Structure 1
Amino acid sequence: MKKYLLAWLFLQLPTLACASAPPAAKPTATRPASSVATVSEADRYARRCQSQSAHRIVRPQGSMLWGTKRSWDTEKKAEERGSVLVSADLAPLRLANASGVTALRLEGGRLVASPAAEGNAAPPGVVGTVLQGTASDGKPVEVAICGAEPSLQDPGVVFYRIEAWNSLAQEWENPCVALGRVPDPRALAVGGVWDASGAHQDTPGKLTFACENGAITKCIQWGYKPWERHEGQSLAGLHQACTRLARADYCGNGRSHTGQDTPIDIYDGLGVLARATRASGGWDPAKASFEAAWAPDGATCIAHTRDGRAMEVILQECPDRLQAGEAVELTGGDRCTVRRTDVKPGTALLRNLSYGAPRAPASAGTGP
């Protein structure tokens, strides 16, 4: 009898253990937008610049212009040229962080509160200020400045930690896309506005918060600061041409033809960046070749695509702008076979090298 009782208890142990264990937590479903309670204005501002433990995951393909999220709704596929934040107004402020401050102004690469402090009083900072912003679809979005950190390489340039009000989730979020190498991206304040086509408009009273992982900020860090001059020439045009180059926006329509962190070499005739002649980490000039020449509104001359797609695809994308023909020889040995129909290739401000797509093996008897 004892043997049968022991055997019965042994068989019942797994059942008893499962019965005593707490039930597994069910995954929490994301609430639809209609079920999210609207937050009052006072509570909304009180919650700005608070650390958020979780952020929505987005995986935009290709190189970004603003470096911002395309949409707050992560369950819907967003258009490549969309953004939750494309511009912000310097005045009037939605919320000032100090008494008497009514607006902000740009001084080179940093924001300054306006009007300035009188007498010996220290000038008020901009951290805590809330600006009125605009998304790519024209809808308003509030932007809070949560921190200001001068660049280690250039103290005159200030990186800002920003948050935008996500009305869909009723919470503040960093609008910048996080990548592995920059998991908590900041933003630069740059004058003017970039539209969906990638064109820059020098709009008075408006600025762009350009995130670290976007082309606007990358080009500034590479040396093309649009508010500065080099050898007496404004760098604004070179910066704009760089945003096209960085994204391989051949047609000048805002569409990229590259991937994140694709190796390239940039050089210009002004002396800001020179063509690399020696191999360095992640770059071997012996394996690279001339890709394209660039103007502020796109490529003027193309030798090969950066992502390996057929040149015919680019020609079909903008048939009235680019055409194939006889080879065009540029200075320095650069050579291309597709060119703009309305400008001379040699008038480009920038050029670049890239690895390009692996070449197909040549057929027997065709030569090198």
Structure 2
Amino acid sequence: MTATKKYLLAWMCLQLPLLAHAESPKPANVAPQLSDAERYARRCQSQAPHRAIKPQGTMLWGTRRHWDTEKGADERSSVLVSANLNPLKQSNSQVKALKLEGGRLVAASTTALAPVPPTERGIIGSVLQGAASDGSPVEVAICGAEPSAEDPGVIWYRIEAWNAVAQEWENPCVALDRVPDPRAFAVSGVWDASGNHHDPPDKITFACENGAITKCIRWGYNPWASRDGHSMADLHQACTRMARADYCGNGRSHTHEDTALDIYDQRGVLSRTTESSADWDVARASFEAAWAPDGATCLARTRDGRALATILQECPNRFRTDTSLELGKGDRCTMRRTDVDPATSLLRNQSYGPPKDVSSQSDSL
């Protein structure tokens, strides 16, 4: 064998391991799997003190749509839509289950659900079994608790959910500039992709600070409370439709982030604004829609400037346009439900009309 052939043979032998490595790359963006003990040990490691006033916008739960921020997802998708109170995946030795009393989670210590002494510390670190909107399981940890400044009987919870792709505990709530580390309320029942509320036993929603479920509670519509002998649950549900401009009651919003609203209801929780301020210009505002728990009962216009015809296409046979209706105090519907009397609506709202240049683009939104 010549020297040249020996050199070539040696060079090829050196290249074989490199070629074999190149032919079997590791999956991208997939972290190594952790054991249960390692996973639970890493929960609740970060704290952030930032708190601010919530903006108004499109989100129902206020949660991320997908763990992959670069992956597009429908607005009716969420990484966390529900959590089970019993059994717990992980907790301290005394806490065996949780109960929801109003807006507060209470620890229980036995199968008979005898309460642990009322302290928020007892449930910190508890891990609940939750679910995403597609039904996939997701664990959620309670990392902190603090009373609401507006109502000390309601507790803000700082939560983290297990991101199985990144193998990290992360806050599932969407962060915005004014609320960079959002908290969550614990609310009875679950909301499905269409925005309908259901109340299965032992299931709750961790409603994040930037979502409509929590906004409506902060506006005064506590679903666990009552006013003048009437449950506030229907008012709260109607508010979640109104906050997102979900006219068809199908979970689709027709608004934008930071949209200003004036809300008023039949039970006197919120009244119509009659004087201008730095936050609201009465002269610019006009009636938009009246609301029931399953969506709008009538409309004068859309909030984001779409033509009313697009709403008729989105939910055919739901509305009629052959007659207008006066609701009083200047509120006039130009499109009304076929199956509901708009005069019985629980809520109404005003908003600012869309900019003139929006109407020409509205059908494509």
Q: Using structure 1 for the length normalisation, give the TM-score.
A: 0.84
Q: Is residue 2:211 matched to residue 1:214? A: yes
Deviation at 1:305, TM superposition (A): 0.6
Q: Give deviations 1:255-276, integer Å, cap 9, x for gaps.
A: 0000112000000010100001
Matched residues in 1 for 2:88 and 2:116: separation?
A: 25
Kindly tell me: are residues 311 and 43 of structure 1, through their superposed partners in 2, closer, same or farther at Cα, counting changes over 3 Å? same
Counterparts of 1:182-221 in structure 2, within 5 Å, are: 182-221=179-218
Q: Is residue 2:34 matched to residue 1:46? A: no
Residue 159 of structure 2 is matched in structure 1 by 162
Q: Please tell me the residue identity of whatever aligns with 1:106.
A: L
The answer as to whether partners of 2:95 and 2:123 remain within 8 angstroms in 1 is: no
Matched residues in 2 for 1:46 and 1:110: separation?
A: 25
Gap runs ≥5 in structure 1: 1-30, 54-60, 361-368
Residue 66 of structure 1 is matched in structure 2 by 61
Matched residues in 2 for 1:257 and 1:100: separation?
A: 47
Of the candidates 256, 260, 270, which is equivalent to residue 259 of structure 1? 256
Residue 282 of structure 2 is matched in structure 1 by 285
Q: Give deviations 1:128-170, integer Å, cap 9, x for gaps.
A: 1000000001000000000001011110010000000000100
The answer as to whether partners of 1:62 and 1:257 remain within 8 angstroms in 2 is: no
Residue 353 of structure 2 is matched in structure 1 by 356
Matched residues in 1 for 2:73 and 2:46: separation?
A: 26
Percent identity between matched residues is: 68
Matched residues in 2 for 1:47 and 1:177: separation?
A: 21
Q: Using structure 2 for the length normalisation, give the TM-score.
A: 0.84
Residue 233 of structure 2 is matched in structure 1 by 236
- SS where residue 227 of structure 1 aligns? coil
Matched residues in 2 for 1:273 and 1:115: separation?
A: 40
Deviation at 1:230, TM superposition (A): 0.7
Deviation at 1:320, TM superposition (A): 1.8
Deviation at 1:201, TM superposition (A): 0.4
Residue 88 of structure 1 is matched in structure 2 by 83
Q: Give deviations 1:262-298, integer Å, cap 9, x for gaps.
A: 0000000101000011112221112101000000000
Matched residues in 2 for 1:301 and 1:112: separation?
A: 41
- SS where residue 123 of structure 2 aligns? coil
Residue 146 of structure 2 is matched in structure 1 by 149
RMSD: 2.1
Counterparts of 1:297-316 in structure 2, within 5 Å, are: 297-316=294-313
- SS where residue 106 of structure 2 aligns? strand
Aligned residues: 322
Q: Give deviations 1:194-238, integer Å, cap 9, x for gaps.
A: 000000001111000000000000000000000000111100000
- SS where residue 32 of structure 1 aligns? coil
